[in-house]
Structures are given as C-alpha cells and as structure tokens.
Amino acid sequence: MKIEQYEFEGEGMTRVFENEKWMVGIKNWKPANDISNLNCLERHNKTDELFILISGKCVLLYANEVNGELVIEAVDMQPKKVYNIPSTLWHNTVTNHETKLILVEDSSTGMDNSDILELNEAQIAKVKELAAGM
C-alpha cells in the first residue's frame, strides 16, 4: 500500500477522490463561473458542500428565499478557510482564471438531488454588482 496523490489542472471541476461516503473535487475556472457568463444558482437538497480556496479569487454567492423574493448575498472567499454551504442553500461560485478550489461533499450528491435556478436580468445585475472586482 502507498499514499495516493491527485491533481487536476483542467477547466471546470472533477472528482479526484471518491468512496461510498464522500468525495473530494478540484474546481478551476470555467466559462460558466466567469462573472460575464454566470446566470444560475444551484442547491443540493440532501447534503452540505464544503469549499476551500487554494489560489486566485472566488466570490461565493448564496441566496435565500424571503417572502417570495430571492435575496442574493456574497462572501469574498479567503484562502485556506473552510466554507460550508448547508443543504438547500442556493449558491454558486464566481471565479477567475487563477482560481483553484477544493470541494468536499457527500458522494451521493448529484443532479438527482439538486436543483438549478436560472437567474433573471435583475438577479444577474445584482450578482455582477456583488462580484465586482473579479
């Protein structure tokens, strides 16, 4: 037996380790997470998700539904801190070309227990305002 090592330098996200309980992924910049293209939020209905910023910049968007309205907020991620996205919280990441994130989540997390919310023009404008400076 020996120690295994994993890396990913491509665009987007890949699961680099997975077992029956949890998975670790590496997420790099991809066009859909660029501020000029971001148009949706997602949520995982049964599981939390953890993000750790390794390099670059990342704005972690999140939103709650309050009185029938989507209230969007943001956190400017700091390197080496762990950010937990609780299950059912709408979220997405705004990244730049230098961004590298580690994510950890239950291995059962997938599109069969997640939702995508397409943002309207006003919500996209709010996202761009929150992520200004990326």
pLDDT tens digit sequence for 79-117: 999 999 999 999 999 999 999 999 999 999 989 999 999
pLDDT of residue 20: 95
pTM of the model: 0.93
Q: What single-letter DSSP state applies at residue 108?
A: T
**Domains with residue ranges and CATH for the chain:** 17-130 (2.60.120.10)
Alpha carbon distance 81, 74 (integer Å): 15
pLDDT of residue 87: 97
pLDDT of residue 134: 72
pLDDT tens digit sequence for 7-42: 999 999 999 999 999 999 999 999 999 999 999 999
How does 101-113 read in b/e, with b if 16+ C-beta sit within 10 Å? bebbbbeebeeee
Query: Given a cut of 90, is residue 118 above it in pLDDT?
Result: yes
pLDDT tens digit sequence for 57-67: 999 999 999 99
pLDDT of residue 36: 93
What are the start-end ranges of the E strands in 6-125?
Answer: 13-18, 22-28, 40-44, 49-55, 58-66, 69-76, 82-85, 90-95, 100-106, 114-118
Query: Given a cut of 80, is residue 133 above it in pLDDT?
Result: no
